[in-house]
Amino acid sequence: MTLPEALHRSLTALIGQCEHPAEHAVDVLYALQAHFGYLSDEAIQQAAGLLGMSPLKLEELATFYTFLYRRPVGHYVIHVCDSLMCWLEGYESIRDYLSRRLAIGMGETTADGLFTLLPVCCIGYCDRAPAMLINRKVYGELTPEKIDTILENLRNAHQGIRPSSRTGAQTP
């Protein structure tokens, strides 16, 4: 399987403008992850070819980083912060609530392929604890009600329906 030509072209251009292609290893992995949905074996091979690095070196990176997924993930990846301040402000009840609402445990993906639930370490929103990321967008001062609205909006967005304004989504 080959990459779409536009993607191949843009990645080749990105790598070409740099003296050291390996500097773009993470960028290439991010781009291929976006295309394949996760970093499949195929994605690793493609990355290796583009960068002129061995697949093993890419495998090392793909299995190391928090936001690179070496296994399939849902359309939305939920990262719930479980570090000290979020823990103090109710991480466990937030985690349990999400788990119940989505009917999955930590590390699992919903049957409809929409949500994956994962923990994450301090995301730097301790002043808005408890907080989480969904596809790297921050949601803070979480409550069960806010979570319901966020999940509903995301489900609707996935089906092309307009979101409600009650999410309390991130401001920097």
Partner 1 sequence: MTAAYPQILLKGRHPDRILTLAEYRTQGGYQALAHVLDKQTPEQVRHRVSEALLLGRGGAAFPAGRKMETVPEDAPHPRYVICNADEMEPGTFKDRVLLHTSPHLLIEGMIIAAYAVSAERGIIFIRPEYENAARILERELAIARDNNLLGDDILGSGYGFELSVHRSAGRYICGEVTAQINALMGRRPNPQQPPPYPTVAGLWGKPTLVQNVETFACIPSIMTQGADWFRQLALTDSGAGSKLFCISGRVNRPGVYELPLGIPLSEIIEEHAGGMRPGSRFKACLPGGASTGFLPAEHYHIPMDFDSLHKVGNRLGTGAIMVFDQTVCLVAATVNLMAFFARESCGWCTPCREGLPYLLTLLERIEAGEGRAEDPDIIATMCRQLYMSYCAFAPGAAAPVESLLTHFRDEVQAHISARRCPLATQAALGEVS
Residues that bind partner 1 (CB under 8 A): 20-27, 29-30, 51, 53, 57, 60-61, 64-68, 82-85, 87-88, 92, 95, 106, 120-127, 129, 133, 136-138, 170-172
The nearer residue to partner 1, 74 or 130, going by C-beta atoms, is 130
- How far is it, in rounded angstroms, from Cα 54 to Cα 37? 22
The nearer residue to partner 1, 1 or 137, going by C-beta atoms, is 137
Residue partners of 85: CB distance under 8 A and separation at least 6: 122, 126, 129
Residue 144 in tokens:
């069960």
Identify the CA nearest to 67 among candidates 96, 102, 39: 39
Residue 106 beta carbon to partner 1: minimum distance, rounded to whole angstroms: 7
Residue 34 beta carbon to partner 1: minimum distance, rounded to whole angstroms: 13
Residue 19 in tokens:
């003296």
- How far is it, in rounded angstroms, from Cα 17 to Cα 38? 26
Residue 105 beta carbon to partner 1: minimum distance, rounded to whole angstroms: 9
Residue 82 beta carbon to partner 1: minimum distance, rounded to whole angstroms: 6
